[in-house]
A and B are shown apart, each in its own frame.
Chain A
């Protein structure tokens, strides 16, 4: 069985999306241009600065494990369902190879990590999606792990916190992927009925079938600054409608203005916000 291990971090910058920088990653060894403001940053600087640009505060992508560690009290996270891996149910061309490459690149078996952790002394079920694993796309395994996380929260009467990041449904699993939208939404429906708190953190980018299912069904939806969040991706919108997209379109700040997010919170202050939210939902006790 594949055992996920936490590898020492390696800084990387997501160059997709808004980057118009002509500079390429390998043009200066060990340094990277910020995709937003093109400031050159060294790996050490990025680490020191907690994964965002010191000049424009652009939040760079972090791995699912880093996300979990940044939210949970040290040493409290206990992973669930780590053995679930994807097959190739439709025998889709190249899917096996893509899965293998994704798992080698990320040292993860799939695009989400779920489990139980303690945040500020309060127990909760926590999950984080991995942007590098086939763009965090949702196939059978992601759908199943989200459902089991919701069910695990219900069994223990715990809040559920999911950090989302996804390109949408995974095409290679065809309708089995699309149905995960329905399956996860139904599971969140039960969580709602059980009266349990559900919080999502939408990070760059959260689009497609994940946004249109469990990610947007939370009681409290938090966006990271500058994150691209939407249903249809901006390139497709531009291509199909021929319209020029408004400035800041589909970014957290734009969505907040349009009433889709509860709050935008910088990553460094995410944990403290969660602690406050959890404490209020425990009737004001902070659990410590």
Chain B
């Protein structure tokens, strides 16, 4: 994950450059330092791995938004076969910020839905930076009802800065579209597993994250609002977003402690996550394990448990009566 987003990378890069100089020098001088060089190289990669294991929440926020990360379509194409994308909400339009359709995962037919970001400016404009409009949520709603009708389990992939904050979205009932999706998912009579792959931003992310199991990648985040928004509202200083990232408890370990998510899949130290076979295998088996577990339950129990999962979230004081 040689990544130039982080300042600490400069130090590792400096060491690597020095090592390269040494390698060239050893060639010129015709003496063999290859053992030493290999040792130092190994040490640098160990140190870097250690550093990436201890990213601060703010560094994870930055990483979760990385355009180099795989997007929802990449996950679907890697994990599933026979994906057929289905379009449109049958009411107004098709929102490219949400992709969805039917596919085969392992040996079962599934419905897959997720927010889709782009990997460059042109793609991002096309996908509205992964910020769904009401028609996107309504398309998801329609596909979920379809999944229920044909008894297909649902896998959702979450990666969005949040719902679109535009005039048109408001005029077409953004809040209404989100609340109806929340209600639909909370009682949908098929198993649902969510995977938070990148940025889990606010209501736009939550709308597809009501599930029987929630899996989160180790550098993904899930937050009530972006740290920048919190910093500008609560501290009146957007530069202090790092503090808010810390306070919001938005990373995977913190959310596991709060029992909002169920499992974490560790990301490798590799820029191209889906190019790492171990990671792909881990993610596939995590989804498959949870899907198996929830699919084994009678539907009525599943719905009751999904309700209970939500019902117990929250912490408050109540006097003994």
Residues of A that sit less than 8 Å from B by CB: 1, 81, 83-87, 89-94, 139-141, 143-144, 147, 169-183, 185-190, 192-193, 208-209, 211-217, 230-232, 236-237, 240-241, 243, 245-246, 249-250, 258-260
Contacts and interface: CB of A to CB of B under 8 A. Distances in A.
Contacts of A90: 247-249
B243 to A, nearest CB: 8
B138 to A, nearest CB: 13
A135 B186 CA distance: 27
A249 B250 contact: no
A247 to B, nearest CB: 12
Q: Which of B178, B179, B180, B229 has the most CB atoms of chain A within a 10 A radius of its CB?
A: B179
A230 B314 contact: no
B248 A174 contact: yes
Contact of A140 (B169, B243, B315): B315
A237 B167 contact: yes
B263 interface: no
Nearest to A250: B170
A237 B163 CA distance: 12
A153 to B, nearest CB: 16
Contacts of B234: 94, 171-172
Given A171-B224, A176-B313, A186-B310, A83 B170 contact: no
Contact of B182 (A83, A141, A144, A182): A182
**Range class of the B interface residue count:** 35 or more
A182 B182 CA distance: 6
A86 B315 CA distance: 7
Contact of A87 (B225, B255, B315): B315
A37 B35 CA distance: 81
B182 A213 contact: yes
B218 interface: no
Contacts of A213: 178-179, 182
Contact of A217 (B166, B183, B223, B229): B183
Contacts of A89: 258, 315
Interface stretch (B2-10, B22-30, B117-125, B202-210): B202-210
Given A186-B183, A212-B178, A213-B179, A84 B317 contact: yes
Contact of B313 (A81, A169, A179, A240): A179
A211 B175 contact: yes
Nearest to B261: A175
B36 interface: no
A231 B203 CA distance: 9
B307 A186 contact: yes
Given A180-B314, A212-B163, 4 more contacts: A90-B248, A90-B249, A189-B187, A213-B182
Contact of B316 (A87, A92, A209, A243): A87
A173 B316 CA distance: 11
B311 A186 contact: yes
Interface in B154-194: 163, 165-167, 169-176, 178-180, 182-183, 186-187
A31 to B, nearest CB: 30
A170 B311 CA distance: 18
